[in-house]
Structure 1
């Protein structure tokens, strides 16, 4: 028997509230640490001679000792839940506390550049989701080259991972797919491919985020044109989807049953599902779109051992696998992409994972948004 819309909403929002409350603390303790371990079991940790996680050296003895004597200030533009879980996991694996500051990449950029300009930069490590912002931090001398990761040579051998000789790196990729309310849609009838979304049966039952809302949705729009064909936008627009400005509001509407299907960021949607929302994700057979998450060591953090350890950990096998367990695509291609619960996303070098490059964003972004707006009759 299907639950009523009100009971679905109550269950989803209660569970989400519990998760968010649990993730509100710091460090690797409490509910954030518990949720992190539920997503992916802890690796084997050997700190008898530096730090070795699952057999991979992450820090030598001197770096580990110095890092544990201090702490890390991490500024991130990733989602709040993901940031809390990542900070908790790092602390649990390394014993190093994290002071995490999370805000949208645009506001984060304003704060970091303002602090740097005044000579009071407080961030040791910065993660942003916009390649142009990362470039700006290089231009403003916020990021400093760091090549001390044990896997640096592996990263340097991949495309689009090491930028400006190590001033910043691709930490992992956000993936974009779609999902449905599994209390409103029978799984047997649910769409399995991008082209299934064009079935007239879904007309008026879908939600999308407008292409001008950020790089991830720009990337999705580019993917749809490139992979699914130039007529895909018009076909999707004919479904008369409800258009949102943010993923969070869109997911709330999906959990309430106000809409039944959404195109959405994989990590945030998986987080809502994990929190108890009645949502099921789909990894479409035609592939998924991807966008960059980029991280660098700052002038404030270059002499901080805890910040250096955090950089090492981010690209360690353990750090990359934890990102994948949350619904990201790892940057390293020499290791397998671990599942996100029941879902298997492609590796970064798989042909079904289509990344929206910084060059595309700079050269085509404005045109993509303008044409998308016209196709969907959206005025912003």
Structure 2
């Protein structure tokens, strides 16, 4: 499901109908807790899950879907919507999250309840090994049809979508002079000016790497390496590098994080490459045999709701 595409909408475009409230570019950075009247409008299914989840009292969420600020805001939003249930939010890169899950599985001491990775391969593996719970959220039918049935068997669901393009520091580079295609990054004029995330840590960057190889072959990376890119871990590290003036262009530019940062006044511009952006569809799923199954199911409902968009 990874593919190059042109300009696209935000995560909120995934949802049908719903609230008319406009949220910020940070997907979920602004969370609007339910008041008592709204809480009273829970569906019977939601109410049943909530009552069972309150008995469990908590859940643990490993996520690579956003930066830490947004992830924590989503956790606090869930707690506001469902008083009496605490969310332990562990924000890390996709590969680190999966490594942590793997260690817990080997030790027979699962801590995670819900896993939100940006690497689809994690879910394919976990499903094959029968390590995911089969649960179809009621809200799964409320997203756009193209995002439904990502796993037709109901073990994991798209809860985040994002674009990778290129981002540049507008204080150091004019738009007219910015790279126009991915292949432009191999031009020698960008030597010591490029920031990248690491595919060994970031699911976003891992998907981007696969797509660049499909488009240009391994030679693209050999030429890119000659330009001495600065490589962080998370794809979001590229935005930090640009804001600090350490680099001029983010070759793996996360549009969501960059847009949020630009709204705060940082000098960032976004480039939609002529050869296509990379669309990331990032799922979430419940690990099998978790300590807090009902809280996990309720949290999956929340992740697919308008409140979490």
Return the TM-score normalized by structure 2.
0.70
Moved more, 165-174 or 295-304: 295-304
- Taking a change above 3 Å as real, the CA distance of residues 137 and 222 of structure 1, as seen in their structure-2 partners, is closer
Distance (Å, rounded) in 1 between the aligned partners of 2:50 and 2:286: 17
Larger Rg: 1
Tell me the SS of whatever aligns to 1:151: helix
- Taking a change above 3 Å as real, the CA distance of residues 162 and 302 of structure 1, as seen in their structure-2 partners, is farther
- Taking a change above 3 Å as real, the CA distance of residues 192 and 234 of structure 1, as seen in their structure-2 partners, is closer
Q: 2:47 is matched with which residue?
A: 61
Distance (Å, rounded) in 2 between the aligned partners of 1:302 and 1:259: 44
CA deviation string 1:299-320 (max 9, x = no partner): 344863322111111112332x
Distance (Å, rounded) in 2 between the aligned partners of 1:226 and 1:261: 22
Q: 2:156 is matched with which residue?
A: 168
- Taking a change above 3 Å as real, the CA distance of residues 222 and 137 of structure 1, as seen in their structure-2 partners, is closer
Q: 1:82 is matched with which residue?
A: 70
CA deviation string 1:127-178 (max 9, x = no partner): 122222222322443311002x223345695467432611112222332111
- Taking a change above 3 Å as real, the CA distance of residues 169 and 275 of structure 1, as seen in their structure-2 partners, is same
Distance (Å, rounded) in 1 between the aligned partners of 2:208 and 2:130: 31
- Taking a change above 3 Å as real, the CA distance of residues 223 and 160 of structure 1, as seen in their structure-2 partners, is farther
CA deviation string 1:243-267 (max 9, x = no partner): 4243455434322323222222223
Distance (Å, rounded) in 2 between the aligned partners of 1:215 and 1:202: 28
Tell me the SS of whatever aligns to 1:120: coil
Tell me how large the CA RMSD over aligned residues is.
Answer: 4.1
Tell me the SS of whatever aligns to 2:194: strand
Q: Tell me, yes or no, if the aligned pair for 2:31 and 2:307 is still in contact at 8 Å.
A: no
Moved more, 255-264 or 209-218: 209-218
> How far did 1:63 drift?
2.6
Distance (Å, rounded) in 1 between the aligned partners of 2:109 and 2:122: 19
Structure 1: runs of 5 or more not aligned:
1-33, 52-56, 323-380
CA deviation string 1:254-293 (max 9, x = no partner): 2232322222222343454455543233344653102342
Q: 1:253 is matched with which residue?
A: 241
**1:185 maps onto 2:173 in alignment:** yes
Q: Pick from 49, 54, 57: which aligns with 2:40?
A: 49
Q: Pick from 140, 151, 154: which aligns with 2:139?
A: 151
**1:194 maps onto 2:181 in alignment:** yes
CA deviation string 1:200-219 (max 9, x = no partner): 79533631427744442343
- Taking a change above 3 Å as real, the CA distance of residues 273 and 206 of structure 1, as seen in their structure-2 partners, is same
Q: 1:310 is matched with which residue?
A: 299
Q: Tell me, yes or no, if the aligned pair for 1:124 and 1:297 is still in contact at 8 Å.
A: yes
Tell me the SS of whatever aligns to 1:162: coil
Distance (Å, rounded) in 2 between the aligned partners of 1:115 and 1:158: 34
Q: Tell me, yes or no, if the aligned pair for 1:123 and 1:301 is still in contact at 8 Å.
A: yes
Q: 2:205 is matched with which residue?
A: 217
Return the TM-score normalized by structure 1.
0.59
Alignment of 1:19-30 (within 5 A): none
Alignment of 1:1-380 (within 5 A): 39-40=29-30, 42=32, 46-51=37-42, 60-68=46-54, 70-78=57-65, 79-95=67-83, 96-147=85-136, 149-153=137-141, 158=146, 161-163=149-151, 165-186=153-174, 189=176, 191=178, 193-194=180-181, 197=184, 202-204=189-191, 206-209=193-196, 212-213=199-200, 214-224=202-212, 233=220, 237=224, 240=227, 242-246=229-233, 247=235, 249-263=237-251, 264-274=253-263, 276-284=265-273, 286-301=275-290, 304-319=293-308, 322=309
Q: Tell me, yes or no, if the aligned pair for 1:182 and 1:278 is still in contact at 8 Å.
A: yes
Q: 1:16 is matched with which residue?
A: none
Distance (Å, rounded) in 2 between the aligned partners of 1:201 and 1:115: 45
> How far did 1:37 drift?
10
Distance (Å, rounded) in 2 between the aligned partners of 1:152 and 1:249: 32
